[in-house]
Every structure is written in structure tokens, then in C-alpha cells.
Structure 1
Amino acid sequence: MNQIGTTSWNLVLDTFKKIWGYDDFRSPQGEIVSSLLAQKDALIIMPTGGGKSICFQLPALLQTGLTLVVSPLVALMENQVQELRQLNLSAALLHSELPASQRRLTMQALAQQKLRLLYLSPETLLSAPVWEILSQPQLQINGIILDEAHCLVQWGETFRPAYRRLGAVRPALLQSKPVGTKISVAAFTATADPVAQKTIATVLQLQQPDIYRLNPYRANLHLNVCIAWTPRGRKQKLCKFIQNRPQQAGLVYVRTRRDSEDLAAWFTEMGYATAAYHAGLSATERRAVEASWLSGKMPFVVCTCAFGMGINKPDVRWVIHYHAPLLLSEYVQEIGRAGRDGKPAEALTLISEPTGWLDGEDKQRQEFFAQQMRSQQQTAQQLIKKLPKRGEVNSVARQFPQGAIALSLLHSSGQLHWLDPFHYQIQPRVNKQPINQLAAAKQMHQYLHSKHCRWQFLLTAFGFDKEAANWRCGHCDRCLSK
């Protein structure tokens, strides 16, 4: 804390108590707040429910000037901004679904320097009207926060290519600001293995970041993976699990929008109060489902990965993966929504039998994902021959259907350099990196079929080897079967 001095640290604690009502921080919240107030770069890995958002919201509110929070999902931004506004704090959000009038008001407040926190997606940050205001010399920007930073790794090479351009944002903004201006960059996530940590730090061009890593282990969260031999058997296991836990709050995760709608309709027919939740719903529809679930009117929701990021409900007693996620980081994110109140909670994953003869769905899903990754990579390599050596991302995206994704893949394989967030330069031939996503999908498969303690596997996978040595949690299905 000594970077700030005692008097101002008392101010930090007073503000913390006044706004959020807590007397003191949980470790390492205080150290992170101190680090961000000193405008240092940082990489923070804290389990879901560990109080990450306070760590960047508090420093932003204590400084004059603006902090940008780059966030992946509209629902996540809406939740955080709503909470801040209820506390009468100067926060706003910008996204493509906003009504024009609201967007105009936020843009005015931004230009007039009335905001402390502005939440936006990578795509909105890099849109021309927003970028134009942010680049004005008089607009003071203190820091850029990348919230849910694992999305950069999970989505940056595929359907959210703007993530790969975020490292060029700080240098470009600094060029338009007065000499000596400092803008810090901090990345927050609940899940990043050593490879993902390196990717985040490299892409964001973090400069000597302070690193805070808490391991994901939760003593109250009981992990279980169960084979469902047929599609019908999978439904029966799910139904039996929920019947045995009447009125307990839970979440059922599926892979696609259609799965969420089909399964929710099936439950509704059986008399359950539930609903489907996915990114295809309007903001109003999403809000209604969230409100029903948070208030307990609806005990569980059938959802895709679009649900849950940043939504805080302490008493979730179970999370079921009706289909296993493709990546271990998604899995840890999603199971982390259970048992935030510290009371026992269960995480059940249903999988097909390993051969896939009786139910080939899981296998098909994995193969489809791998095939998609490979074909995108091939498209990128073919496109490199047609592209100008130096060019502009929007014109490439207009000219080629997969243009923006191809550029992000070339960046990830070290074949392209961003001159600024909008212009690229193709590098001379380099050794191409392997596709990280495929290795990560393989790791998920190993986890599901591992014979050892599940928590030990997760600790090792996320780089906590010391803690994982000789580890037995004693409460996962593997430990209990022994």
C-alpha cells in the first residue's frame, strides 16, 4: 500500500466503505487497487465470485478522468452499469443494441468528460464515432480494463477478431494525448492457464505487469462427471437430478441456442418453471429471464455460455453441463457460478460413452469444432497471398467474407503486425504457431476421462503445480470412488 501513502489509503478505505459497505478488502483486492491507482499494468486471475469488478471500479471512481472497461457481453455490461448507477456513480455503457437517443446522450457525456467508467465491447471501442472522441487530446484516459480477459483467447481468433487488435489501442491513443500521458492496461479473468496468460500479456502488450493469481479450488464445490449411454438416458439423468433437488437454484448449460430452446420447452411441458437463454434473445427478453431466476421465481435456466458472466447469485446449488464445454476455461467459469455463498454445491457434467457408438453427439461436436478451426486457418493462409502487404482491416473485411477473422488468425500465428488498431502489416514468413484452441479442446477431453482427483487435474491445468502435488480433494467423484 505504501505507493499511495497513509492519508490517501484511508480515503480509499473510506470510499470503499461508503460505496460498497465493507470495512476492508479481501486479499489480494487491496494490492490490486493500489497497483491500479499507481497506474501499473496488471494481470489478475481470481476465481469467479472473488470480487474482481470492485478492484477496477474503485480506482476508476477515485481518479479524475476516464477508465474504459472492455467487456464481452451486453448482459454483463448492463448488470455492472445498472449496479453502479443504483449507487449514483458516473458509469455508462455503449453497445450496438442501445436506442439511438441513449447512445447520443452517452457520447455527449463522454465528449464532455462527465464519465468515470465507460463499458464497451472491443467492436464498439474500435468503431469510428467512439474512436474519434477517445482520440481527442483533451479527453483524459487513465486506464483500459479488459474484463473477462479469457474471451480474448477463446474468441479472439474466431468470431470476435477485434480482440486481437486491442494491443494496438494504448499506443494509438497515447499518440493523440499530451506528452507524458500514462494509460495503464489491466486484464481480469477467473480462468487462464499459463498459455492463455502469455497470450493475454502478449496481445495486450502489457508492460512489466503486476501479476495476481489465485487458484480456482473451491472446497464446497463437488465435481462429478457421469456417462449417459444414450440421448434418452441423458435426458433421464438430467430430469432425475433436478427432481431430487426441488426448488434449488441451478443452471443447465447446453452448447447451442436450439438445444436451449428444445430442452426448455421439454421442461415446460413437464410443468417446470424455466426458460431458454442465449445470445439470440433481445435485451428485454434476457433481462426478464435473469430477473425471474435471480428472484427465485424460476429455479433454473437452460442456457448457452452467454448466461452467467458477471451475474451474481450466491445461492446456486448446482450447475449441470448437459453437454460438456469444448474448453476447460469455459468449464471452470461456468461451474464457478455455483456455491458462491460457501455452502455445498454440485457440478455435474453428462458425457457420451467414449466410443460414441450409442450416442455420437459429443464426438461430432468436438470434430465439428476442430474442423471449423482448421478450415478458418486454411482460409487465412490462402488469403495471405491475395492481401496487400500493408492494409486496412475494414476494407479487407468488406472485400473478403472471412477477412477480419483471417487477419486475427494471421496475427495469432505471428504472421501479421498491427500498425495501429485499424492498419496491419504482413510479416516476412515466420514459424507458424499451432492453433491453441485445438490443444485446449484436447485438454477438456482428458479432464472428462481422467481417473485422478478432478480438482488436482484443474490445478495442474491452470499452472498451480505446487498446490497440485499429492493433492486429493476428497469430495469429487474420483476421490469418492476410491
Structure 2
Amino acid sequence: MKKQTHTVLKNVFGYENFRPLQEEIINRTIDGKDSFVLMPTGGGKSICFQIPALVFDGITIVVSPLISLMKDQVQALKSNGIKADFFNSSISPQEENEVINRAIKGDLQLLYLSPEKLISVRNTWLKQLNIKLVAIDEAHCVSMWGHDFRPEYTQLKVFRNSLPQVPFMALTATADKSARKDIEEQLGLTNSKLFISSFDRKNLSIEVRGQVQKKKKLQEIVNFIERRKNESGIIYCLSRKNTEEVTSYLKAEGHSVAFYHAGMNHEEREKTQTDFINDDTKIIVATIAFGMGIDKSNVRFVIHYNLPKNLEGYYQEIGRAGRDGLPSETLLYYNMRDFVLYSQFADGGANSVMQKEKLNRMLQFAEAKSCRRKILLSYFGEHLTDNCGNCDVCENPPKDFEGTILTQKALSGIARMGQTDGITMLINVLRGSNNADIHTKQYFNLKTYGIGKDVSFFDWRDYVIQMANQGLIEIMYAESSALKITPIGWEVLKGDKTIRLTVPTSPSDKKKQQKVAKITTGNDTNKDLFTELKKIRYAISKEEKVPAYIIFNDKSLKLMASQLPVTENEFLAISGVGMNKMEKYGEEFMQVIRKFKSVSKPRKTPTTDKTFILYKEGLSATEIAEKRSLSITTIFSHLSQLYSEGKEVELEKYVTKEIVDKVRIAFNKLDRKVELKPIYEKLNEEVSYGEIRLSVTLILKNE
């Protein structure tokens, strides 16, 4: 069984190795046991249930709340030659009947359903299916402690109880300890094992910018996008109004951008999302309603225009960048106004205390002066020993200084103003501002008026927030954000305690930009080929009406551009290229690579020649595979090619006459098309791809 899962991983999905935990989860599922999978966005959750679905002789039910994601995942599965479909409110009654008939006939390996549809059909045609596995995706929706609670998910326990012998798998990217326990109980998982993979997405750089005025923020975002021409990104905003304002500003600057929010009708939202997925729109400006159903692998940046409500939501949203593993950037803007607004929302809502606690943690993260990845990962129970080196704090470590006198000036101002005003008024008094409110309240008569005029407004704001973080003052949100001095603050004001402050940091974008450029571009020639390969991918995606990344993701294209595969086996060795994709698209991509190679410097020794040298030395096919760290299927492909080229290779010793005869019958029945997958299926998957390749070569050569 273990060998079979590895074969499926390589031949169907095009990957040589499993990621951490995937194989253990798959083996446990094949053994019929329940699992709870906690993996970050882009961490490879889907493979955990998709491979067992292909190994089992029956159907796997996948429950997902995200209609657009279902469509995406089913398209991706079909592009790998897998029998999959979805059943949700987006399809017509006629399409529903077609899906039901295919499922009942056993013509589907995976069926995706929304929880609402599952509940409505579980006592009808669903009972006729040979269900071998149930996967509950986005499982945090079942918990009231989760950040995206969906009441219909709570009815899934009844479905679980109706299939006591079938393994269930709960999967989510975000769930804290209280939510995890709740999910297990709500779904009725039995003796399930919790698998938590690392939440460290090393390819994502993290930057946070606080207290940036609106006009400056918009200009910074424009500059950021200018330096990343033609790259896909998402900008998250707090309100619908913000999304429309930011969109029109970016459009006026000539960018390919659209907004997305709950105030649009279904058709408008659907079109906006489809255009983004298909690379027709490069940037989406959205409320957090956007992105849950996005499986797009080449999002290169995520910007938060406002402070998110909690770290779970923030982590999930930044996780939509760089799902292909290539370097990607995240940028978070925040100000105290966002925080106050969210606090007010939380006051009237359910779980108010918990929401406020999570909001406070979010603010602490935003205002931190230490490695941000450490803070983020520790929230999910994972601990980094070293600083990450890929966040703004690590890139530009803050310098501290003796800040007691500066702090005393601010504390004195708060005390003399009667502890009734907020940050802005305090700073205006310290800087000697001449506005109407100061005159109305007679604050220009205070001894502290103007004593901090040599410090900028931005720096003062930073220092006051540091004072709050160090526990010297409290921001009383229920009292119009008035500043109150704490007992420690009074000690500092009286001179009984000293304080150190950090110098406000300026953005390190230029430095980071150089770093990212160094990682991602490679040489210019290969960059040109990468651009050409993207053009073919886009053309095929339009023809097939599927998102471009479903054909091949950016990572696979970059590997093609650097490794220059021009034979079938070289192409199959590219990560993300399975048999089905090689047969469908390989020749078209290889033609461009061959043309490119003919005008660029040829490579030294072709890979088949390296195999031939080892073959002539007397090594067996297995020994050659081990020595070259290639699969046996690839070595058989090399030997077949060498044989076809007239080289002295004895293929007959690797495949029996009986197998060649079986392949000949299937080959003839399939109109003698040199396509391995149909022959493999025709022979009930009993003959390996390598043996089919050898047999077809012998059949064609010896006629």
C-alpha cells in the first residue's frame, strides 16, 4: 500500500516526495482511522485525503463551505486525470442529476459537497454510495470558538454517526486549543489523532507599518505595486467604502484592479473572482469576505489596509500569498482608529470578552519590536529558537535609548490635562499646536504646552504606544480612548524608575526589494523563457476555460525555465508534472524550450547519456535509479529512448513477453495512440507505467 501511495504521488500529482506528516496521515486514513489535520494555508492539506481517495475502491466525500474553492479543486483534480465533481447550489437541476448518476454508478472518486447540500441529501441518494472516506475541510467552521462559525456544520455529527466504520478527517488551517477540542466533539470524531504541521511559511516576508496617514498610505501602496508589475496581489480593507476608494485610486494610476465586497450581487462577485483567478485582473481590493475560496497559487503579495480583528484571520489571509512556495510579501498597515472601531463592534457582539482579547493580541503583534514570526508562531503553539531574518524587525532591528525624560514630558502632559484626552490631543499639546480644541480647553496655558515641539507627530505617537506597551499608561477605549497613568507610570513621572524607548523605524522596503529580487529573478535569459512559458500557459487556460495555475503553477514553470527539459522523462522529472499533464501539455511546452535551447548555450551531457554510461558499466535499472536519484519509471523511459535512437540496449530483459502481449492488445484497442495513461487504465492498473513504456517501444521498433 505504501508503494501505491508513492506511485500515485509521482504519477498523478508529479511530486517525488511527501511533505512532513502527509504520509503518516494518509497511512492512518487507509487503516480506517479518524484524523484531525491542522496545517497552514498552502501546506498540502488536500493531498492528505486525495491520495487515499485514489487508493480506495469507492467514493470519498469532501465537505467544504466554499463553493468557488470546490470548483477550483475539482478542475485541478480533473487536470490530473482524476474522476471528481462537486454538488452545491451553483449547479442546475440537470447537472445535479448527472452528478448523482455518476456517483451512484461508481464513476466518481471524489465528490465535493457544501454542508447544506450534504444535510439535505444524506437520507436520499447519498445512502446508495460506497463511501470510503469523509473529509471535512475548513473544520474551524464547526466551532463557536472559531473565527468563521457556520451553524450548518454542527449537523455533521449526525452524518458521522451514520457511518461508524468510515474514517473521518477534519482539516483546517487555523484553530486554537479551545476550538480544536470543540471541533472534535462537534464532529464526533472517535480516537482521532491530531496532526499539527509547522505553521512557519518561510517564503513569506512580513512587514508592519503603523500610524501612516491615508494619503501617504495610498502612495506607498502605489509605489509597492509599481515595483511588482504584472504580479497578482490582494489588498484587504476594513469597509466596503475603503475597497472602492482604494480601487479607484489604483485604477487612476493605471493598475489592473477590481474591488470585491458583500454589497455586490452574486454575478458581480463571481466575475471579479473568476477574472482574478484567471489572471485577467491582477489585484483585488476586498473585505475579508474574499479569499476563502481562492486556491490561486501565484499570489505574490497580500496587503492589509487596516488592522485585522485577530491573528487567526491575519495568518489565514497572508497565507493566500506564495502558495507555490516562491518568495512572496505581506504588508500590514494599522492605526489606533481601527482598533477603537473593532473594540466598539465587539462590545455588542457574541463572545465579546474573547473577541477583545484576540484583538489585543493582534495589536500587540502589530506594535512589537521583536521578530514578528516568533510572535505569530508562538500564538499557534510553535516556538522558533532563532529570529526569522525575513520580517521588518529582523531586517531593521530597533535601537533603544534612555527615554525617561521624554516619557516624563508625556506623562506630565497627561496628568495636567486631567487624564481625560486621547493620544492626538496629548501630542498636539506637547508639540504646541495652535488648533481650536486646545484654545477651547485652554490647554495652551499648561506648563507642558510646546515642551516636545522638537519631536515629530509620528515619533510622538510611536513613543506613546511604547509607553502603553510597557504598562505606563492605559488607553481607556470605553472613555473615548482617554489616557490614564498606571501605578508604574506614576513611579516614572516621580523619577523613581527609568525607561528605555526604541527609535521609531523607517520602512526597509528598498532593502527587502533587493533581497526578494535576488531570490526570485535568476538570470535574465531564463526570465525571458519563464515569460514565454507563462504566455503559453495563459493561452491554454483560456482555451480550456480553467485558471492558469491549474495547468502548471509558477514553481513548475520556473523549474522548466532553469532545467530546460526537452524529453518526456526530463519533463516528468519537473515537480508538479504528472503523467496526465505531461501527455496533455508536455509537447507544447517542450517545443518552446527546444527553440530556446537552440539559440542559447547547449547543456553538457544529456540526462539519457548519463543513464547509458551507467548501463554500459553493467549496472541494473534499479542501481541506475538509485545512483541517479531518479525513479525506476524515469530510467525505463531513458532506456526506451536510447533503444529507439539505435543504441545497444537490451530492453527485453526488463519486461516479459506476456506483458508485452497484454500491452499490445490494449495499445491496438486504443487506436495505437502512444499515451500511457489510457493503456494503464485499460490494463486495470496492473502493469506499471515503466513496463508500458518499454513494451510500446518494443512493439513499435519490431514491426
Separation in structure 1 between the aligned mates of residue 265 and residue 58 of structure 2, nearest angstrom: 33
**1:264-318 Cα shifts (integer Å, max 9, x gaps):** 2332233211112345666765564445434544332112334334644444332
Counterpart of 1:453 in structure 2 is 371
TM-aligned CA distance change 1:342 to 1:15, over 3 Å: closer
- Of the candidates 151, 160, 166, which is equivalent to residue 156 of structure 2? 166
Distance 1:37 1:44, change over 3 A: same
| Partners of 1:155 and 1:312 in 2: CA distance | 25
Q: 1:305 aligns with which of 279, 284, 288?
A: 288
Structure 1 458/158 Cα, relative in aligned 2: closer, same or farther at 3 Å? closer
Structure 1 CA distance, aligned partners of 2:224 and 2:296? Answer: 21
Aligned to 2:333: 350
Structure 1 residue identity aligned to 2:372: R
Alignment of 1:32 onto 2:22? no
**Contact 1:326/1:366 (<8 A) preserved:** no
Mapped contact 2:140–2:148 kept (Cα < 8 A)? no
- Tell me which amino acid in the other structure corresponds to 1:71: S
Q: Is the 8 A contact 2:12 2:81 kept in 1?
A: no
SS at 1:275 equivalent: strand
1:112 Cα offset (Å): 4.2
Instruction: Confirm or deny that 1:80 pairs with 2:73.
Output: yes
Name which structure has the greater RCO, CA cutoff 8 Å, separation 6+: 1
1:478 aligns with 393
Distance 1:135 1:299, change over 3 A: closer
Give the RMSD, CA atoms, in angstroms.
2.8
2:253 aligned with 1:270: yes
Equivalents in 1 of 2:189, 2:103: separation in Å? Answer: 26
Greater CA deviation, 454-463 or 279-288? 279-288
2:353 and 2:287 mapped to 1: Cα distance?
A: 24
Per the alignment, do residues 98 and 283 of structure 1 end up closer, same or farther by CA in structure 2, a change over 3 Å counting?
Answer: farther
Matched, 1:189 2:172: yes
> Counterpart of 1:97 in 2: which secondary structure?
coil
2-structure distance, mates of 1:283, 1:15? 38
Following the alignment from structure 2 to structure 1, what is the Cα–Cα distance between the partners of residues 220 and 61? 45
Separation in 2, partners of 1:58, 1:320: 34
What TM-score do the two structures reach when normalised by structure 2?
Answer: 0.52
1:64 paired residue among 48, 54, 57: 57
Residue 371 (str. 1) matches residue 287 (str. 2)? no
Deviation at 1:64, TM superposition (A): 2.4
Deviation at 1:193, TM superposition (A): 2.5
Match of 1:220 among 183, 195, 203: 203
1:338 aligns with 2:303: no
Alpha-carbon displacement from aligned partner over 1:449-474 (angstroms, at most 9, x marks no partner): 2332211111111012xx34x54223
Structure 1: which 5+ residue stretches go unaligned? 1-7, 175-180, 355-359, 375-433
Residues 317-368 of structure 1 deviation map (CA, whole Å, 9 limit, x = unaligned): 321011222121121111122233444322111111x3xxxxx344213421
**Aligned: 1:442 with 2:360:** yes
| Structure 1 residue 31 displacement after superposition | 1.3
Structural mapping, 1:316-331, within 5 Å: 316-331=299-314
SS in 2 for 1:145: strand
Give the aligned residue type for 1:454. R
Residue 102 of structure 2 is aligned to residue 115 of structure 1 = no
Contact 1:49 1:336 in 2 (8 A): yes
Aligned pairs for 1:419-434 (under 5 A) are none
**Residue in 2 that maps onto 1:97:** 90
Question: Which of 194, 198, 201 is the equivalent residue of 1:211?
Answer: 194
Question: Structure 2 vs 1, CA of residues 110 and 193 (structure 1 numbering), >3 Å: closer, same or farther?
Answer: same
Greater strand share, structure number: 1
Give distance in 1, aligned partners of 2:33 and 2:359. 33
User: Residue type of the partner of 1:145?
Assistant: A
* Residue type at the aligned position of 1:45: L
TM-score, length of structure 1 as denominator length: 0.74
Which range is displaced more, 259-268 or 55-64?
259-268
CA contact (8 A) 1:47 1:214 kept: yes
Q: State the match for 1:131 in structure 2.
A: 122
Find the aligned partners of 1:194 and 1:309 in 2 and give their Cα distance: 22
How many residues are treated as equivalent by the alignment? Answer: 397
- Cα deviation, 1:418-460, whole Å, max 9, x if unaligned, reads xxxxxxxxxxxxxxxx965454333223322233221111111
Name the CA distance, whole Å, in 2 between partners of 1:229 and 1:286.
30
In 2 relative to 1, CA 202–444 (structure 1 residues): closer, same or farther, beyond 3 Å? Answer: farther
CA contact (8 A) 1:228 1:237 kept: no
Q: Is the 8 A contact 2:53 2:59 kept in 1?
A: yes
Q: Any idea what the Cα deviations from partners look like across 1:9-32, whole Å, max 9, x if unmatched?
A: 222222232221223322222111
SS at match of 1:79: helix
1:39–1:96 distance in 2 versus 1, CA, 3 Å: same
Is the Cα–Cα contact under 8 Å of residues 372 and 393 in structure 2 kept in the other structure? yes
In structure 2, C-alpha distance between the alignment counterparts of 1:282 and 1:21, rounded to whole Å: 39
Contact 2:42 2:324 in 1 (8 A): no
What is aligned with 1:413?
none
Higher deviation after alignment, 306-315 or 204-213: 306-315
Alignment partners' CA distance in 2, 1:293 and 1:158: 23
Counterpart of 1:243 in structure 2 is: 226
Give, in angstroms, the shift of residue 258 of structure 1: 4.6
Check the 8 A contact 2:26/2:49 in 1, yes or no.
Answer: yes
Q: State the distance in 2 between where 1:322 and 1:314 align.
A: 22
Distance in 2 of aligned mates of 1:118 and 1:196: 27
Find the aligned partners of 1:63 and 1:284 in 2 and give their Cα distance.
38
**Deviation of residue 257 (structure 1)?**
4.4
Letter in 1 for 2:140: H
CA-CA distance at 1:41 after TM superposition: 0.8
Residues 142 and 183 in structure 1, CA contact (< 8 A), matched pair in contact too: yes
Instruction: Judge conservation of contact 1:248–1:317 (CA < 8 Å) in 2.
Output: yes
- For the residues of structure 1 that align with 2:126 and 2:217, how far apart are their CA atoms? 53
Percent of aligned positions that are identical: 37
Rg (Cα) greater in structure = 2
* Counterpart-to-counterpart distance in 2, 1:187 and 1:286: 29
User: What is the alpha-carbon distance in structure 1 between the residues aligned to residue 173 and residue 32 of structure 2?
Assistant: 22
Confirm whether residue 11 of structure 1 aligns to residue 7 of structure 2: no
> Which amino acid in the other structure matches residue 209 of structure 2?
C
Instruction: State the AA in 1 paired with 2:247.
Output: A
Match of 2:472 in 1: none
